[in-house]
Amino acid sequence: MKNIAIVTDSSVSFTKEQIKERQLYVVPLTIIYGDQELFDQVNISTEEVRNILLNDELLSTSQPNIGTLIHIFNEIKEKQYDHIFILPLSHHLSGTFNSFKQAVEQVDLNNYTLIETETLVGPVQRAVDLILKLNKEGKSIQEIIFSLNRLFNHTESYVLPKTLKQLKASGRISKSAATMASLLKIKPVLKLENKGTTIEKFATARTENKAMMTIVKDLIKNDITPKTHVLNLLHSEAESEIHTLLNLIEQEIGSFEYNISSLPAVLTVHAGVGTIVLQYTIK
């Protein structure tokens, strides 16, 4: 078993206890509130983000502070790990990947693997646990990287926002499309597609239950089963909706191994309070 370090960002949405248990380095993403630059989970919590949004106040996000990154990677370098695994959220969704790359180059690390996860949250959580498991089993760095690439190549994310207000405010969808959907009372389902490069409108429905059923039907179409895949479910103040979706999946497909987490603060800024997300990853 090698002496390894795992570095990720605060979008991973692990609790403080989970971070401590796994001995992770977690770099805070930046949340902009007025003229304040706040660090996710350091001086602003997910609950505080929700409350600000519920008060109709504006928030935006930014990649991690480069000075913070350099400080963390210098600390890691001094500890002389055998290898360092770095798992930022998809570079198509944020500039975080490039910030990590810039920082490791400035620190002159040479024993690291910077993974393009092409996703966020659930699959990244599972990747962290996979690294720890395979390292404990004595697998080589190359074997671990192969398993990580397999995991990230077999994952999808569905997003069901309660409203399009935050997606419109953050520029993820046009104002005209948001207005039309609101007038017609349409529930959109969004999907992270093309290996994390785009967030596409996957389906629309008149009710939340029908929107959920479009997700279930797509799982069936893609042969996603309890034998082959695990589910990650995320929500922002929408736990009952998560269990409604789980019940539909159980009725139509079967009982999956699953994990429920809070929607990360940075994703809540863009998707809004009340959003639910379903992600699947291969076993």
Q: What is the CATH number of the domain that holds 167?
A: 3.30.1180.10
Alpha-carbon separation of residue 63 from 77, 94, 97, 127, 167 (angstroms)? 22, 7, 9, 21, 18
- Domain boundary pick from 100, 133, 152: 152
The pLDDT value given to residue 196? 46
Mean pLDDT of 59-72: 92
Residue 270 within any structural domain of the chain: yes
Residue 55 within any structural domain of the chain: no
Mean pLDDT of 212-234: 97
Higher pLDDT, 140 or 203: 140
- Domain boundary pick from 120, 152, 184: 152
Alpha-carbon separation of residue 92 from 194, 208, 213, 248 (angstroms)? 10, 28, 28, 31
Higher pLDDT, 185 or 87: 87
Lowest mean pLDDT among 130-144, 205-219, 233-247: 205-219
Are 13 and 109 in the same domain? yes
Nearby residues of 17 by Cβ (< 8 Å), 6 or more positions away: none
Q: Which domain holds residue 130?
A: 4-29+64-152
| 3-class DSSP assignment, residue 206 | coil
Residue 52 within any structural domain of the chain: no
Q: How confident is the model at residue 260 (pLDDT cuts 50, 70, 90)?
A: very high
The pLDDT value given to residue 63? 86
Cross-strand bridge partners of residue 234? 261, 277
The pLDDT value given to residue 168? 56
Other C-beta atoms lying within 10 Å of the C-beta of residue 101: 15
CATH code where residue 89 lies: 3.40.50.10170
Q: How confident is the model at residue 152 (pLDDT cuts 50, 70, 90)?
A: very high
The pLDDT value given to residue 12? 95
Helix (H) or strand (E) holding 42: none
Are 119 and 185 in the same domain? no
What distance in Å separates the CA atoms of residue 151 and residue 155, rounded to the nearest whole number? 7
Which ranges in the chain belong to alpha helices (H)?
16-22, 46-54, 66-78, 96-107, 122-136, 141-152, 165-169, 175-184, 208-221, 239-252, 265-271
Are 247 and 108 in the same domain? no
Nearest to 252 by CA among 229, 224, 281: 224
Residue 45 within any structural domain of the chain: no
Our count of domains for the chain comes to 2
> What pLDDT, in 10s, does the model give residues 162-220?
876 666 555 555 454 444 445 456 788 888 764 544 556 667 787 899 999 999 999 99
Residue 151 has pLDDT above 50, yes or no: yes
Are 118 and 168 in the same domain? no
The pLDDT value given to residue 178? 47
Residue 44 within any structural domain of the chain: no
Are 115 and 232 in the same domain? no
Q: How confident is the model at residue 43 (pLDDT cuts 50, 70, 90)?
A: very high
Residue 70 within any structural domain of the chain: yes
Mean pLDDT of 252-264: 96
Alpha-carbon separation of residue 20 from 6, 24, 72, 233 (angstroms)? 12, 7, 16, 22
Are 257 and 193 in the same domain? yes
Are 114 and 135 in the same domain? yes
> What pLDDT, in 10s, does the model give residues 271-283?
899 999 999 999 9
Residue 6 has pLDDT above 70, yes or no: yes
Nearest to 260 by CA among 247, 274, 279, 273: 279
Nearest to 282 by CA among 170, 186, 149: 149
Nearest to 131 by CA among 210, 22, 264: 22
